[in-house]
Structure 1
Amino acid sequence: MKHISIIKYLLPGMLTIAACTDLDEKDLLYDNVRSDDFYKTPEEFASAVGAAYTNLYNLGGNNHMIPLNEVTTDEVVVPTRGADWGDGGHWVRLQQHTYVPTDPTPNNAWNMLYAGVATCNRVMAQLEEKATDTVLAATFISELRAVRAVYYYWLLDMFGNVPLSIDFSITEPLPNSSRQEVYDFVEQELLENAPRLPRNGPGDGPYYGRVNYYTCYAVLAKLYLNAQVYTGTAQWDKALAACDTILNSTVGYMLSPDYREIFSRNNTGNPEIIWAIPSDAVYATGFNLSMMTLHPLNQSTYNMSAQPWNGFATIQEFYQSYIDPVQNPGPQGRVIGTSPAGDSVTGTLDNRLSNFLVGPQFDAAGNRLLDGGADATDPNGPPLTFTPYINELQPNAWRQAGARIGKYEFYSGMTADLDNDLVVFRYADVMLMKAEALARKNGNWNDAVALALVNQIRTVHGGVTPFTTMDADKFLAERGREMFIESMRRQDLIRFGKYNSAWRFHPPDASTHVNIFPIPADQINANPNLDQNPGY
């Protein structure tokens, strides 16, 4: 647990409020406040606005954003390991793009995002009705409108045609709005409200973890970069301007000299982080990556209080993309990725291989872990060894198969919930967005500025040789190496026309309707005004 709790980050001043109003921490975290005697001080305003953020704690779990944006791609796979992770074929359907309206994860994401929208609408209505300081209320309403726009950006990206619920007094079910209408709404809300928000930089300040001016422009950059997908009209100049708003700022954002520090247990205030969800094993739970990816025996590796679930792994070819097989392996070179098929790779190692856990596994005392439940056909046998090779997607993937996700620091004494802040937007991503927008605008992937931006990241974070030339495929691969497991890959593959291509465990898609998810059956059953997305 952090020495300074989540309460400081999202809900500043609440401990003082608790002393005045006799509210406990649970009341404050979930905004169970009596609005008749509330909204009188800046601290009370902030505590109420904090409720709009609490749904975001779910972003780091195994049933919302990460599965939809990663398990559907060539980065992450959840093999069916005998009786584990079958779940009615849901994880296989995500990987093979055969998802259906009754699948649980799209419904979970829909509910989480619309719960956030509803909270924003509710608190705004309370502020407008109850607040006596209308000037102060206006500032917090601008923040809530920006947070709501972020929720709608994700809905726009994943579901396309969704209802625009912006008035808390309207209770009847709403019909779908078009993707263009939702796009226009998100753009307008961010542009209108960003100038009213603080322009603070990285650090452990009272605004850390909240949407600020630069968060708005990070979302705008994403919106414009994907505008051609969303609306049919490219917006490269707008994307460049949004990126430059962040890159040219003087508040302290910069490329972190240490890639691993961005994702460490104590990553609060890292200069690369534009927006993160402050996670805490006690006050702000929900970031479950260690549980999602580690083997049950790794409980003794990290002295964990809970036994991991042995699910999420990396597809072999993606893991191997971090090795340059053309260059001489040199002193760092080693053979990796060995499989019964003999597909091994040697090469120069990218420092960002820290994104993964491979090889023999040990307990905290240094003793070799032995998996008595290992499949008899697994050539590695009982000694627990994570191998990049995965023998099959289903039904009997080996318990040890798959490089595991180690991007965020795992530490001794972990609970089921990590202390690491979950990074949402960061500086390197903005650099890559600018490079891509320049290349696409100029029709030249070897644009000098674009190449320099990519090579700066390769040098600082990867420690590998800069590119001398670049094309779309090389850029996409580099973006994948840098942004692994940050819920960007699905969006990136769609933008580059690769989401419907074949990769290991994923045959090519016959139709691009899978580029947005089905509107969940539960939502259509509850709202007769909703129309299903085409193709489902």
Structure 2
Amino acid sequence: MNKRFKIIAAGLLATTLLAGCTKLEEEKFGSLSPDNYYANEQAALSSVVGVYQLLSYNVDIGDPWRMKEFSTDEFIVPGRASGGWYDQANVDLTNHKQDADNKTIARAWVNIFQEIGTANAVLESLQASPNKDKLKALIAETRALRAYGYFFAMDNWGNVPLVTVARIDPKDLPKTTARAEVYKFIETEMLAAVADLPSVKDVNRASYYPRFTKESVYTALAYMYLNAQVYTGTAQWQKVIDMCNNVINTGAYSLTAKAIDNFASPTQAASTEIISAFTKDPTQNAGNNQFILYTQNGLDRLRYNLPFGPANGYSTTQVALDKYEDQDVRKTMVQYGPQYYLDGTPLKYPNGTQLVLIPVQDIVAAQDNEGYKVLKYTPVGAKWSGFNADNDLILERYSNILLMKAEAIFRLSGSTTEAVALVNQVRTRSNATSLSSITLKILEDERAREFLWEGCRRTDMIRFGTFFTGTWAFKTGVTADFRKIYPIPNEQIKANPNLTQNTGY
């Protein structure tokens, strides 16, 4: 693992900005200005790292990730009978009843636009530097990072303000930009960035990790094209295939022996599957991974010899569990039923009762054992600083390339031999039964199995149509079509009356 990149991030708070725009009426998106020039690439990189850190909230346990996951069939956080965890804003997201005053959505907006604002400020200073000709790759990197932020904004809210400057005139606040126009901006920016970014084939993979390469951007474009019909009304299946082929044809990526190898701290460095990630190293004060803290039952302190007691919050559902065959290795990443120590001894409470995890029965006042747990970012082998682990956060994996290409081929040509073979590559790795043909439902379910808690389930469900018609856990009715995008927070509209609220809210 490249600790040097992490250590740069550790010193970032003292050297550059992390405050972007928290409200759109603020004049400054960041503290860098055209007067703050960079003497060399190393100095410039220290600022770009800050943009990476802010983008990581979209796959971290922060509000952007939570906001998306709460509305799906794979994530639930019940209030506990002890009084902890209950949050009406999250319950409303679970039930698809969110409104424009939802606090989780409001915080997610701030997080996402903070990353965009910070990218604007860094990009403006890079482009104003007298050394900009030597910083082309870093400028491209920052453009891609900003475009990624806008992708998450567009995906969540549809129509959003499109701002590309570090400072906003408070007398001329931005208006809402149509989703299709934001889509075009993201596409243009990412394609431009590709030209100046290195390919994974042209860098020392170990030392360059986890920075964006051409293949990182091709993967992002493939996923945006996969959802193009939702975003713009026009499907782009061939573009999905083209972007996936750009990654496949490098020959640089392959599936790891086990899916969990991409999430376990000791094996991430050697992964041939990780395309984009965010490094974390709390021992160097360079970010952290808190999935175990927020997810696991308190008894897991004993099971894994943790230096803290987990908070027993995040859980998954019976619907998510039931998608796996019993022999599917990925099912072992979900904790359900009777629980055991790593040596097979029953995991018991002090009173001698074994911990048995059951589905959530009460979303308001659940008992300690309600809620299945997802153990993707395994604590086994992790390094700890308090309750912070050093597992890197994964943004994109090669398995997504295979499944995106398979879906695009299917939507163009049906269940072809090539499409089925691509899906079977992913299934065979996890000992799932090989398929002889595929359907849209099979493709959706396979993505749900492979990418559990990786932040793409809501987008996938909307594309496949199940977000509106499906029922699960505590979401029992048909969802109105307008809820495929979230409301612009009322606090943002009050701050900037030029914004237009999304239809239905």
Common topology (TM > 0.5): yes
Aligned to 2:256: 256
Alignment match of 2:432 (pick from 447, 464, 488): 464
TM-aligned CA distance change 1:361 to 1:171, over 3 Å: farther
The match for 2:73 is 74
Say which SS state the counterpart of residue 275 (structure 1) adopts.
Answer: strand
Is it true that 1:225 corresponds to 2:193 in the alignment? no
Question: In 2 relative to 1, CA 204–421 (structure 1 residues): closer, same or farther, beyond 3 Å?
Answer: farther
Higher CA-based Rg: 1
Q: What residue identity is the alignment partner of 2:487?
A: P
2:386 maps to 1:387: no
The Cα shift of 1:435 comes to 0.3
Q: Which runs of 5+ in 1 are unaligned?
A: 15-23, 324-347, 373-380
Letter matched to residue 157 of structure 1: D
Whole-angstrom CA distance in 2 between matches of 1:171 and 1:268:
45
CA offset digits 1:434-481 (Å, max 9, x no partner)? 000000012x1x211110100111111x21220122211122111111
Output aligned runs, 1:96-495, within 5 Å.
96-129=95-128, 131-172=129-170, 173-200=173-200, 205-250=206-251, 252-266=252-266, 267-282=268-283, 283-323=285-325, 348-361=326-339, 369-371=347-349, 383-392=353-362, 394-411=363-380, 414=384, 415-442=386-413, 444=414, 446-460=415-429, 462-495=430-463
* Correspondence list, 1:81-92, <5 A: 81-92=80-91
Counterpart of 2:406, as a letter, is A
Is contact 1:432–1:479 with CA below 8 Å preserved after alignment? yes
**Per-residue deviation, residues 481-533 of structure 1 (Å, max 9, x unmatched):** 11111101001100000001212221123411111111112211211111111
Letter in 1 for 2:65: I
Indicate how the Cα distance of structure 1 residues 226 and 25 shifts in structure 2: closer, same or farther if over 3 A, else same.
Answer: closer
Corresponding letter in the other structure for 2:365 = N
Runs of 4+ with >6 A deviation: 31-35, 363-367
CA contact (8 A) 1:319 1:388 kept: no
**Amino acid in structure 2 at the alignment position of 1:137:** L
Q: Tell me the CA shift for residue 74 of structure 1.
A: 1.0
Cα distance in 2 between the residues matched to 1:419 and 1:516: 33
CA deviation vs aligned residue, 1:104-149 (integer Å, no higher than 9, x gap):
22222211111111111111222233x2223113332222111100
SS across alignment from 1:67: helix
Distance in 1 separating the partners of 2:471 and 2:398: 31
**How far, CA to CA, are the matches of 1:33 and 1:163 in structure 2?**
21
Measured on the aligned residues, the alpha-carbon RMSD in Å equals 2.6
Rounded to whole Å, the distance in 2 between the matches of 1:361 and 1:518 is 40
Q: Which residue of the partner structure matches residue 332 of structure 1?
A: none
Match status 1:27 vs 2:28: no
How far residue 209 of structure 1 moved from its aligned partner, in angstroms, is 2.1
Shift of 1:38: 5.0
TM-superposed deviation, 1:58: 2.8
Partner of 1:341: none
Equivalents in 1 of 2:499, 2:493: separation in Å?
6
Cα drift, residue 241 of structure 1: 0.6
Over residues 422-445 of structure 1, what are the superposed CA-to-partner deviations in whole Å (9 max), with x where a residue is unaligned? 111110001000000000012x1x
Contact 1:60/1:286 (8 A) holds in 2: no
Q: 1:26: Cα distance to partner?
A: 4.1
CA contact (8 A) 2:161 2:175 kept: yes
- State the identity %: 31
CA distance, structure 2, for counterparts of residue 204 and residue 418 of structure 1: 23
Q: Which runs of 5+ in 2 are unaligned?
A: 19-30
Code of the residue aligned with 2:408 in structure 1: it is: A
- Partner Cα distance (2:358, 2:443) in 1: 23
Q: State how far apart, in whole Å, the 1-side matches of 2:174 and 2:271 are.
A: 41
Q: Which moved more, 1:135-144 or 1:182-191?
A: 135-144
Distance 1:305 1:125, change over 3 A: same
State the distance in 1 between where 2:246 and 2:432 align: 29
Corresponding residue number in structure 2 for 1:497 = 465
Cα distance in structure 2, aligned partners of 1:43 and 1:151 = 23
